[in-house]
Amino acid sequence: MRMRMRLKAAAAAVLCLHCLGVYLFTRGFLLTRTELSAFSLPSDLLQAQAPCCSELPSTTNQDQDLPGWTPPTVERVLILIVDALRFDFVAPSSLFQKKQKWMDRLPSLQHLASTHPSSSRIFKAIADPPTTSLQRLKALTTGGLPTFIDVGNSFAAPAIQEDNWIHQLVHTGRRVVMMGDDTWTQLFPHHFNHSYPYPSFNVKDLHTVDNGVAQHLVPWLHRQDWDVLIGHFLGVDHAGHIFGVDSQPMVQKLEQINAILQNVTDIMNSQKHLENTMLIVMGDHAQTLNGDHGGGTSEEVETCLFAWIPRSLPSSISSIFHPSTCGLGLNGKNICTSTMQQLDFAVSISALLGIPFPFGSIGRVNPELYALSPGSWDRQWLPASFYEDPSSDLKMWKNNYAHVLCINSWQVKRYIDSYSATSVMGFPSDDLHYITKLYNEAQSRWSDSKNRSCKPENGTIDEFSDFLLSFATLARSAWTEFDMKLMVVGLGIFIISIIFHLFVFERVQSLSNVYDNKTQKSSNHLQIYVAFLLVAVRAVSFLSNSYILAEGRVANFLLATTAIGSIRSSLVYGKIKKHDLVFLILIILIRFGIEKGMPKQAATNPFLNYDSGSDFDLKWLPSLFEGHDFVILLPEISPMIILFLLSFLSCKYITSTVHSRCIKWVVTVGTMLSYLFIATFWLSERSFAPKMVYVIGLSLFVLNFVLRYLGILEKGETVQRLRSLALVMVSAWSPTILILLGKQGPFVVLVCIIAGWSIISSKNKGLLDDCKMDPISVMQWSLLAICLFYQTGHWCTFDGLRYGAAFIGFDEFKVVRQAILLFVDTFGISHILPIFSLPFLVTIPNSSSSKGRDKTVIFLNLTQVYLLYGLITAITTTFTVLCVAIQRRHLMVWGLFAPKYVFDAIGLLLTDVLICVSALYYC
């Protein structure tokens, strides 16, 4: 008893060390940039005696009550955000190599772009990762770069504390109306004159938010008591998450958005008070083909921005548009597109509306977007000194834009100085010196042009642009602050935990030899060396971003290596065993799933999100079977058949393994009911069915612990008791995990069962006696869990989270409940089931030879299995931490390395917690 308590205390100590290491390293690595509390004021420009404030007044002649740094160039702005809007949703299909079914579904925008080329423009807007909605909205309104750590706040967005153009609008007396995604009201709780928020996280609901926006949008367009109107549509994003981009629901949703946009543009053309209103249709981010976003791939960051104004503009605006890509639209006319950074949006919208630029904005007023505003061409909006040479509209516009860029640069330089003075680390001194030099040269050229009484044109514009673009590049490469001391201490604690882990493992192994009266242990050490060689290969691969992206393939390759080694070992003994061949075949099937069905760039898996109302892609099937009727029914029939097989196997093993009649009856009935409810849900979409599965699973889990500590499950031999406990625990968790995985669940669970049986059957090929822990088997168990994680459509990035699983059985969003379901879906097949089923590695091979065996030996063997499994996870996570520390300045740090660290750190802590729970339950 004392030894068991010590080992449980050791497991708790490992958990504490890992918690401390994760906490310290995270504090050092995932620091957000310093958020300055300063806000821009209308008087700042004059009080600071900025070199570019002498000629451009802070108020317009027409609107004395609207103070700003530049005159407003539009009267109103209508911003319609289509969440997860891809560039190829808007741009003509002729710009792409192959036309897809989702292209050309927004013809209303293409029509405006082709028929009004001087007053409308399609932009490819490049977002900065992470591409989650919260981060993008914060960046779009503050003008700063998003911070990775705020991804965790995506389900409960805090109010923005930094300066932003929404605050500036309110501060200058503008009237702002919002409708749609309720994230806006969380970020800006007291800023809107009127708001119509709708819940945003029920990804199964494609219509509520969009219909709500459409309902309120048209009446407000006929009213005049607003200055900025924001509508945020979510249906496209939700359709992508559930069905994927290449689906009929996505096409239908785009057609609905197009009808709304067509109605909006018709109203704007017909209403006189909307003549100087700019329409902006934009995405906050894009999405992959399977509807995910959050990372930094081109599919996720290349969204779209469309701008149009009903009023006609001078033809010379065409010379301002940068060289662009052009293609034919649906009406046969030419459509040209440009590229802009979303970082520029906040300062650009501030310049259009004539409000002070947000204090932390580091973007550049986009010249093409600014040129689309009528006020940038009208003399009445300019001070008297600009009337001297009115011969050229283009020259007058350049003078105006140069002055705006001067103010833009002054604001950014002011922010740089303030940030450098208050931040812990600031920017590298050499880079800061270079940036300051660019700014001084641009200001010197501006001053010289003023002293010579000539108008600043291309030269000044180019120099201010160089300064702004150079600083944006610097901010992207060196923005995040790292506390290297905390990172090193955290990494050191990880290393200490591994050393402590090894010490405890060696101690338990020695005790096992003593209690089992064994002196020959060289063969066991050989197995350990081979296992740790495989661990080392996988861990070292994390030092490369390419191998992190291919982690599922690497794990599958190493698992196949062990399978081939088992076949070779069988040949040495003269016969290939069937379980070795079965295991190798399963590995090939898993690799097929990782390669074809589940990679991040692939379209939605047909078994995962198949819906009878959507088109079903059969490209994953061999062409031999195409055209046969049974192929159409396969996605519906095969999950049911496998589900029936699983229920039969569960009933058979529960009745043959669990000896207590009462427990046997309760677990069997609960398991069968769970499978029945799963089938009911798949056939009828009844929301009560998943809820019943969750209730049964939770009840069985609680009942297990209650009966365990009441001593009811203590009957029988030690091995028999452990096997019964493990079977009851796995039976409690399996239905919940299965239903969250979708219709792929039965196949995945069946693969897991057969692969587990193959690993157990391969154990003890003469190198070890029946009661020894087999390190190779434990390593295979760990690799199999990793492969199943990737086969089921998960990915170590936030766009790899399957948000739809969190709403299985529920329509309304509640943070804790949906977070739990999402957590179980993410880690169920890769952590919960593998760890709770580890006793099978000890109990099943020993079932025929364990009678009379000292239960202490069995306990020590089980302890070794859990210690080794935890050690494997700890070593690979430590290498992830080391990789992140080394690659902290890498271009892909926020898109790849940081998410990988977050997933591995959570996985490590979850592994430690589950090992502690297993120690309390099994021992």
pLDDT digits (tens, 9 = 90+) for 743-778: 888 999 999 999 998 888 876 544 444 456 788 899
pLDDT of residue 535 exceeding 70: yes
pLDDT of residue 739 exceeding 60: yes
Query: How sure is the predictor about 602, in pLDDT bands with cuts at 50, 70 and 90?
Result: very low
Question: Strands 325-328, 176-181: parallel, antiparallel or unpaired by DSSP?
Answer: unpaired
Rounded CA separation 412/395 (Å): 25
pLDDT at 520: 45
pLDDT of residue 456 exceeding 60: no
pLDDT at 163: 94
Average pLDDT over residues 632-656: 84
CA distances from 469 to 123, 244, 320, 472, 892 (A): 18, 35, 18, 5, 20
pLDDT at 5: 85
Higher-confidence position of 631 and 339: 339
Per-residue b or e along 484-503, where b marks 16 or more CB atoms closer than 10 Å to that residue's CB? eebbebbbebbeebbeebee
Which string of DSSP letters, residue by residue, matches 173-198?
A: T--EEEEEETHHHHHSTT--SEEEEE
Proportion of the chain above pLDDT 70, given as a percent: 84
Query: How sure is the predictor about 812, in pLDDT bands with cuts at 50, 70 and 90?
Result: confident
- Torsion, Cα 583 586 587 588, to 10 degrees, reads 130
Average pLDDT over residues 703-726: 77
| 877-911 residue pLDDT tens | 999 999 988 887 776 777 678 889 999 999 999 99
Query: How sure is the predictor about 548, in pLDDT bands with cuts at 50, 70 and 90?
Result: confident
Per-residue b or e along 861-899, where b marks 16 or more CB atoms closer than 10 Å to that residue's CB? bbbbbbbbbbbbbbbbbbbbbbbbbebbebebbbbbbbb
Mean pLDDT value across the chain:
83
Question: Strands 302-308, 277-282: parallel, antiparallel or unpaired by DSSP?
Answer: antiparallel
Query: How sure is the predictor about 53, in pLDDT bands with cuts at 50, 70 and 90?
Result: low
Rounded CA separation 70/411 (Å): 13
Average pLDDT over residues 461-472: 93
Higher-confidence position of 424 and 741: 741
Count of residues in the chain: 923
pLDDT of residue 614 exceeding 80: no
Tokens 């977007």 sit at which residue? 369
pLDDT at 611: 40
pTM beyond 0.95: the answer is no
pLDDT at 612: 35
pLDDT of residue 402 exceeding 60: yes
Phi-psi region of 766 (alpha: psi -120 to 50; beta: other; left: phi over 0): left
Average pLDDT over residues 308-324: 85
Average pLDDT over residues 693-722: 81
Higher-confidence position of 384 and 794: 794
Q: Pick the range with the lowest mean pLDDT from 301-315, 465-479, 610-624, 793-807.
A: 610-624
pLDDT of residue 121 exceeding 50: yes
> What's at 112, amino acid-wise?
L
The first and second tokens of residue 271, run together, are 């209403």
pLDDT of residue 492 exceeding 90: yes
pLDDT at 67: 61
* Helical packing angle, 745-761 and 629-657, nearest 10°: 50
pLDDT at 470: 93
pLDDT of residue 29 exceeding 90: no
Proportion of the chain above pLDDT 90, given as a percent: 45
| Phi and psi at residue 603, to the nearest 5° | -75, 170
Query: How sure is the predictor about 619, in pLDDT bands with cuts at 50, 70 and 90?
Result: very low
716, 655 contact by CB (below 8 A): no
Among the listed residues 36, 445, 448, 143, the one whose alpha carbon sits nearest the alpha carbon of residue 437: 445
pLDDT at 575: 73
Tokens 């007058």 sit at which residue? 396
Which H or E run includes 304?
strand 302-308
Strand partners, 120: 308
Cis peptide before 130 (omega within 30 of 0): yes
